[in-house]
Amino acid sequence: MILLVDDTPTNIDILISILGDDYDISVALCGEDALEIMEEELPDLVFLDVLMPGISGYEVLEHMKGQDSLKTIPVVFLSGNSEETERQKGLSLGAEEYLVKPIDAGAVMAQAKKYC
């Protein structure tokens, strides 16, 4: 299962259109919901928006890395912020990749194939 976490429904729709035919998908519209979903079912991969209301994607990943059951789940950040410092921050927190929006179907599919 791939968990898609983004507070913008359009981005979720795009990701589902890319991945939905090949993978089981679960969706969360905020970081809090993502963590609740992960308590019930461990995803094989998480595509995680960085800037969301409530807890940010960075905070979600920090929480995941502090939990034995979640710390090995691969995370790919999705962000509208293309600054290298933000990319480096995401990678230093333990993300496998940091993709910049608009969402690139080929890059998303490549990450899914790599981890699922």
**What does the domain layout of the chain look like in residue ranges?**
2-115
Task: Name the token pair of 67.
Answer: 């939990």
Read off the pLDDT of residues 60-80 as tens digits, 9 standing for 90 and up.
999 999 999 999 999 999 999
Give, rounded to a whole angstrom, the gap between the first and last alpha carbons of the chain. Answer: 8
Read off the pLDDT of residues 83-106 as tens digits, 9 standing for 90 and up.
999 999 999 999 999 999 999 999
CATH architecture of the domain with residue range 2-115? 3-Layer(aba) Sandwich (3.40)
- Separation CA 23–CA 76 (nearest Å): 16
**pTM of the entire predicted model:** 0.96
